[in-house]
Amino acid sequence: MSTAPDPEIHWRPTVVEVDVAAFMRNVDTVRGMLPPGSRLIAVLKADGYGHGAVQLARACSRHHVAMIAVSLLEEAMKLHEAAVDIPILVLGPLTAHQIELAAEYEMVLGITGPEMLDAVAAVATRRRRPVRVHLKLDSGMGRMGLVESDLAEAATILTHAPFVQLDALYSHFSTASEPHSAHTSLQIERFRQMAERLRDLGVHAPLDHMANSAATLRAIVNPGDFVRVGMLLFGGEPIDGTRSGLEPVMRWTTRIARLKTMPPGSPIGYGATWTTPRDSCIATIPVGYADGYPYLLSNNADVLIRGRRAPIVGRVSMDLVTVDVTDIDGVALGDEVVLLGRQGDEIVTAEELAGRSGTISYEILCGVGHRVPRTYIGG
């Protein structure tokens, strides 16, 4: 018996549309922000922030980006299997077995501590082939990376490991999205001091990179430095209260699956948290928290229907959401419903949904589940 999908089946209409052309325009806009000699590392971890890393990586070329950064070896392998020929930086951390695999497939490895550096040196020496690395310095984030007391050990490992090729030093800002924070300047100075200490110990890297999306937008980039940009490429806003002018890349839609008129006093949804105040037209849409639409948007968000905003009423459930469409003229079964993105002159942004649900826009985009199919346009 065949297990292939039946092409005649009409699947649930809940989909994400990814505008590849908008993504590439954002790439070019970010490139235009950079000072002379600087290049872009496109961060496509978490499946390209939920947009689809393979499809977006395929749209890029070495002309557009110097490298593609991911977090996991699994993510890197998917890009490799898709024949993406741009160098891939795996930010890690990696286990010893993963380092073996990454070296075999010529990934560039982000070194998160002296113990990982030692493991990479052992693999490179055994293989007698170069392994390219970027050495992470903890300038004030407190997560991964070498601290001051690790530098001497790292220098010893590097000077005795001729097959470890140090391409770059890097760090990560923790408060670049807060323009008035003094911590960013402190991190820059600490990174400079740590890099100078490594040079005194005989270790030099030709490249540096610290800037994330927020720092890039704020022009906290030295000529020649690389930048690691993720959120800006997807049209997100890495700095609260600002508008970068970049284009949202994701548009999440569904369609009205049920329409009914309810009399005043009718409870809607689990817990009866909303009751109709009048004769009300209620639309049910086939999406829910199992798809990544946050439960905290219960009674607390709008969708777009026929170019107008309509409020979510009742609780967001696993597979269904109810919407009050009483004031939407001409509303009909099958109408498009925009959960995230633009319809007519109205737009629902990831930042809006994040603010309403008490999270960040990164989580909104990354949280759209894999049971929501992605379609790609413009590429």
| Residues annotated catalytic, as ranges | 45, 270
3-state secondary structure the chain: CCCCCCCCCCCCCCEEEEEHHHHHHHHHHHHHHCCCCCCEEEECHHHHHCCCHHHHHHHCCCCCCCEEEECCHHHHHHHHHCCCCCCEEECCCCCHHHHHHHHHCCCEEEECCHHHHHHHHHHHHHHCCCEEEEEEECCCCCCCCECHHHHHHHHHHHHCCCCEEEEEEECCCCCCCCCCCCHHHHHHHHHHHHHHHHHHCCCCCCEEEEECHHHHHCCCCCCCCEEEECHHHHCCCCCCCCCCCCCCCEEEEEECCEEEEECCCCEECHHHCEECCCCEEEEEECCCHHHCCCHHHCCCCEEEECCEEEEECCCCCCCCEEEECCCCCCCCCCCEEEEEEEECCEEECHHHHHHHHCCCHHHHHHCCCCCCCEEEECC
